[in-house]
Amino acid sequence: MITMKKTTRNNIYTYAFVIVSFIIVQLLINSGNISSSLQGQLVPICAYVILAISLNLTVGILGELSLGHAGFMSVGAFAGVVACISLESIIPITLLRLIVSLIVGALFAGIAGFLIGIPVLRLKGDYLAIVTLAFGEIIKNIINILYVGKDKDGLHFSFLTDSSALNLAEGGRVIIDGPLGITGIPKLSTFTMGFALILITLFIVLNLIDSRSGRAIMALRDNRIAAESVGIHVTKYKLMAFVTSAALAGAAGTLFAMNYSTIIASKFGFNTSILILVFVVLGGLGNIRGSIIAATVLTILPEMLRQFNSYRMLLYAIVLIIIMLATNNDEFKARLRALRERLLPSNHRAGKGGAEDGQS
C-alpha cells in the first residue's frame, strides 16, 4: 500500500481533472457535438487557464498583488510570434516551430519579469500593485511604438518612426508594425498543444509549491519577518516566483496569439490583467485547481449567457459581486441560503446535527 502525502493526492486529482476534461472535449469535437463558437474558444481557454495558474503563483502563493500580468502575456505573444515568423524558412516543421516559439515567448517574458521584479518586489502591498499596473501599461506603450521587420539580412528594429524606417530589402516583411501590431500570424496553436502546455504548467507550479523553494515562497507570504529570521533570502525567492509566473504567462501569450491572425498591444492591457485576477480570486488564492475551473467557467460564461444578449456583461458583473459578497460575508451567505430554500425547497430534515455530529 503506497502511503501518499495529502498534497500529492490532491495534485493527482488536479491532473486527472485536466486530462479527463481534455478527453471529454476531444470526444465532443470528434463526434461533432460542439458548437463552432465554443470550439474557437478552446485555445483561449487553455491560455487563460495557464495565465490564471501563473498569476496564482504570484498572488496566492507568494502573496503579492500583481495588476500587470497581461504585460507578460503581451511580451510572450509578440516575441513568440516574431520568432515564429522569422523561423519560417529555418524550421519548416510547424510543431517544432510552435514549440520553439513558445520557448522564446516564455524566455522573453521571464526576462521581463526579472527586470521588472528587481525594482518592484521591494515595494509593499498596494504600492507594488500599482507599479505592476504601471509596468503593464508601459509595456503596452512600448510595443505600440515598436517596428520589427525581417529580410534576408535578418531582423531589423525601429522605434517611434514607421515601417519604412526599417529599410527592408526586397522580399522582406514587416512583422510588428507599431500600433498596427502583427498581421498574418501563422495560426499554429492547437487545443492539444494548449492541453500539453497546461500539463507542463501544472508540473512546474505544483512541483515548485511542494518543494523547499515553494515553502520559502509561501513563508514570505505568511510572515516575511519570520522568514528572514530563519535565513530565507527574501529577494531571491520573490524573484523566483515572479519570474516563473511571468515566463508561464509569456508562453500562454504565445499560444493565445497564434490562435488569431492579428494581434495588437492594446488587447493586452489592464482589462485583461483584471480579468485574470478575477479568475484567480474566484478560484481561490493558492488553489491551483480552482484557478483552472474559474478560468474555464468564466471564459465560457459570456458565451453561455449569449441568450441574454446585451444584458450578459451586466449579469456577469452582478454575478461577480454576488459571489464576492457570498464568500466573504456570512450574513449575506445566510440570506442567500434562506432565499434558495424558499425558491427551491428541498427535502432536508430541519435541524441536522445532534446524533450525527455526536460521534466527533
Partner 1 sequence: MDKANTPEMQMATMPSVDLVSEREAAKKPVLETRNLGINFGGLMAVNGFNMTIDRTEIAGLIGPNGAGKTTCFNLLTKVYQPTDGTILLDGRDTSNMTTVQINKAGIARTFQNIRLFSNLSVEDNVKLGMHNHINYGMWNGILRLPAYWKGEKQAHDKAMELLSIFDMESLAGKRAGSLPYGAQRRLEIVRALATKPLLLLLDEPAAGMNPSETAELMENIVKIRDTFNIAIMLIEHDMNLVMGICEKITVLNFGKIIAKGTPSEIRNNPQVIEAYLGKKREG
Partner 2 sequence: MTFLSFLISGLSLGSVYAIIALGYTMVYGIAKMLNFAHGDVIMVGAYVTFFATTRGNLPPVVGVLLAMVVCTVLGVVIERLAYKPLRAATSLAVLITAIGVSYFLQNAALLLWGSNPKAFTSVVGNGSLKLFDGQLTISVIAIVTIVACIVIMAALTWFTGKTKMGKAMRACSEDKGAAQLMGINVNFTISVTFAIGSALAAIAGVLLCSAYPTLMPTTGSMPGIKAFTAAVLGGIGSIPGAMIGGILLGIIEIFGKGYISTQLSDAIVFSVLILTLLVKPTGLLGKQINEKV
User: Which of 7, 164, 211, 329 touches partner 2 by CB under 8 A?
Assistant: 329
* Alpha helices (runs of H) in the chain, residue ranges in sequence order: 6-30, 36-56, 69-86, 94-120, 125-144, 191-209, 212-222, 224-229, 234-257, 270-283, 288-304, 312-328, 330-343, 355-358
The listed partner (partner 2, partner 1, none) that binds 277, CB under 5 to 8 Å by sort, is partner 2
Look-up of cell digits 485583461: 272
Interface stretch with partner 2, choices 19-27, 37-45, 132-140, 286-294 (CB under 8 A): 132-140
The strand pairing partners of 157, in sequence order, are 148
Minimum distance of partner 1 from residue 240's CB (angstroms): 6
* Under rule CB under 8 A, residue 124 binds partner 2: yes
Are 182 and 84 spatial neighbours (Cβ–Cβ below 8 Å)? no
Binding mask 142-181 toward partner 2 (x if CB under 8 A, else -) reads x-xx--------------x------------------x--
CA distance 149 to 168: 7
Contact string (CB under 8 A) for partner 2, positions 283-322, x = contact = --x------------------------xx-xx-xxx-xx-
Amino acid at 351: G
Does 327 contact partner 2 by CB under 8 A?
Answer: yes
d(CA 139, CA 279) in angstroms, rounded, equals 22
Please say which residue, 215 or 312, places its beta carbon nearer to partner 2.
Answer: 312
- Return the SS3 of 147: strand
For the chain, the first-to-last Cα distance in angstroms comes to 27
Answer yes or no whether residue 122 interacts with partner 2 by CB under 8 A. Answer: yes
Nearest by Cα to 78 from 249, 194, 245: 249
Task: Establish if 161 lies at the interface with partner 1 (CB under 8 A).
Answer: no
Choosing from 12, 95, 226, 317, the residue that interacts with partner 1 (CB under 8 A) is 226
- Name the residue type at position 243: V
**Interacting residue ranges for partner 2, rule: CB under 8 A:** 59, 65, 119, 122-124, 126-127, 130-131, 133-135, 137-138, 140-142, 144-145, 160, 179, 225, 270, 274, 277-278, 281-282, 285, 310-311, 313-314, 316-318, 320-321, 324-325, 327-329, 331-332
